[in-house]
Amino acid sequence: VHIATPDPLGHAAQGWAVARNIPVVCSFHTRYNRYLRYYGLHIILPWYWHQLRKFHAKCVCTLPPSEAVAAELRGHGTERVAIW
Nearest CA among 25, 23, 24, 44 for reference residue 33: 44
Report the C-alpha gap between 45 and 67 in whole angstroms: 21
Which pLDDT value is given to residue 30? Answer: 86
Backbone angles phi, psi at 65, to 5 degrees: -85, -10
Which pLDDT value is given to residue 7? Answer: 93
Q: What is the pLDDT of residues 11-45, one digit of tens each?
A: 999 999 999 999 999 999 888 889 999 999 999 99
| Average pLDDT rounded to a whole number, residues 51-58 | 96
Residue 54 CB-half CA count within 13 A: 9
| Average pLDDT rounded to a whole number, residues 47-68 | 96
